[in-house]
A and B are shown apart, each in its own frame.
Chain A
Amino acid sequence: MMIPLLKAELFKLFRESKTWYAITAVLLIEGIILTAAYYQGATILELLLDNLRQSFYFEGNLLNGNLLLYIILNSLWFNLPLILMIVSSALITEEYKNGTLKTVMLQAVSKGQLITAKYIASFIFTALILVLLMLTTFILAYSIFGNGDLVVYLGTLNFFPADEAFKRICFAFASGLLSMLFFTTVSLTLGILLKEPAKTWIASAFFLILCSLLLKADFGLPTVERFFFPKLTNAWQHFFDYELNMNSILIDNLLLAGYTAFFALLGIFLFTKKDIG
């Protein structure tokens, strides 16, 4: 029963004009960020290498596809979830708004199965957008700006050879996917709670802003903060630490997956306990 339900949810999702608007918006944002990243990259390199330039010659080009991909990764994780959250939450809020949920429930479908199918559809949509974004940014960044070593600043200036940089960027995208899944899952749960699209969008945007503020906040409790979900949404950044601590990254990502599962289960529980209408 789950497969036909899932197919129906995906069909509905991709029939919605707002889904295509969202995909277009994501691609436009990508183009804008890529253009901005080029100019930002040139300025960043100028500033970063300024005091080294007095004493050294540089051979090679650092303003390359890898640097642009890293800047895109930094810029994307705030803009992208907002769009994904709006589309994902619509999976349930539009049903409430149009009253179609009652019609669906007239079929031999359990509430649990229906909402689980919606969560899985949201997962698939998020993953597809991320893959599309990853492929297009890789193609654009490497074809226009070429390959080369990557320099990032995370407390220290870290230089990575081109092949190492490529690997780390791929891992960062995979870890970023987990963050996106977390946000879209939360938005769907918020949709179940609030029912109305506009209210859900505002709540989702608030949640996203709150997470980004808490990410930068320092409460002086590093051991507690370590497991706080806003901090975990930035786990992808640790792929650019010079010495990779895979255990720590794995724990962060598993914890984030755990939080995602928690919000999904909470949503499923709330939906099954609530009356439709």
Chain B
Amino acid sequence: MIKYLSLIAALCCVLNTSAQEIDADLIAIKERMDAVNGFTADLKLDLEAPFINMPTKHASMKYQKGKDIKFSSNDFVVLPKRGLDFALSELFEHPFITVNRGEEILHGISVKVLHVIPIGDESDMALATLYLDTQNQRIAASEITTKKQGTYKLDMQYAANQDSLPNYVEVSFAIEKLKIPLNFMGSDTKIDRKAMRNIDTKTGKIKLKITNYKID
């Protein structure tokens, strides 16, 4: 009896899932982003991590539709693997379903909260929560949980209401403790094991200020 009930429940789930459609607001945002064929912009990067000291860095980025974003810099720069996919191409690369989680207030504006759940195993993403600014048709924030690279939180700010590309992105990420080769340490560098244990996993942030957009 339990077997039959389980089978019926599983069938219901499958039927319900296949009936799910991608949220219309998300599609509208994707279409708006698809209108951008490419752009170049200048980046100012500030990395904040508990055990990394890095001065402000500068780089430039170049996006061409259908291609990966390219970065160039005269300095050594650290750039997040996630968070700069403004065209949402990574998100739309593999099939997924969306679940509307209602409305929330974020930075003083009402946003639509959407869960994006990939179907199948191809996607590296396990779950994404998108905060859609439906009025201005753009992503206000997101939280992406990946299968291998932890969870990322993205907060985007825009210079003007009509802008589709952000002028400020803050990427928060979890970072594991450092593995330090002893022979690289200064001769009098002490290992504070207690502190090292405490920094097992910490949250870091990369703040990106994006200027001089040249949109095609």
Contacts and interface: CB of A to CB of B under 8 A. Distances in A.
Per DSSP, chain A at the interface is mixed
Interface string A122-151: 000000000000000000000000001101
A48 B180 contact: yes
Contact of A159 (B54, B73, B80, B176): B54
Interface string A64-92: 00000001001001000000000000000
A58 B181 contact: no
B176 A51 contact: yes
A237 to B, nearest CB: 4
Contacts of A161: 55, 75
B79 interface: yes
Contacts of B178: 48, 51, 153, 157
A148 B80 contact: no
Interface in B107-140: none
Q: Which of A44, A157, A218, A242 has the most CB of B within 10 A?
A: A157
Interface residue tally of chain B, by bracket? 35 or more
B23 to A, nearest CB: 28
A59 B190 CA distance: 30
Contact of A55 (B51, B76, B77, B80): B80
A59 B79 contact: yes
Nearest to B148: A54
User: 4 closest pairs, A vs B, by CB?
Assistant: A60-B76, A149-B76, A242-B53, A159-B54
B102 interface: no
B88 interface: no
B185 interface: yes
Given A148-B76, A157-B53, A159-B54, 5 more contacts: A54-B148, A56-B80, A60-B74, A157-B178, A234-B186
A61 B73 CA distance: 11
B8 interface: no
A56 B184 contact: no
15 contacts: A40-B184, A43-B181, A44-B184, A48-B184, A55-B80, A55-B82, A57-B71, A58-B79, A59-B76, A60-B74, A74-B186, A157-B53, A159-B76, A216-B188, A240-B186
B187 A216 contact: yes
Contact of B150 (A55, A151, A160, A215): A55
A47 interface: yes
Nearest to B192: A155
Contacts of B179: 47-48, 50-51
Interface in B137-168: 148-150, 152
Contacts of B52: 156-157, 159
B33 interface: no
A110 to B, nearest CB: 41
Contacts, number: 116
Q: Which of B173, B176, B184 is packed against the most chain A CB atoms within 10 Å?
A: B184
B3 to A, nearest CB: 42
A154 B186 contact: yes
B149 to A, nearest CB: 5
Contacts of B177: 51
Nearest to B77: A59
B73 A60 contact: yes
Nearest to A242: B53
B198 interface: no
B175 A55 contact: yes
Given A51-B179, A55-B173, A153 B73 contact: no
A153 B186 CA distance: 7
Given A51-B175, A149-B75, A242-B53, A56 B186 contact: no
B67 interface: no
Nearest to B70: A59
Nearest to A148: B76
A162 B148 CA distance: 33
A212 interface: yes
B188 A237 contact: yes
A237 B186 contact: yes
A211 to B, nearest CB: 10
B59 interface: yes
A153 B189 contact: yes
A121 interface: no
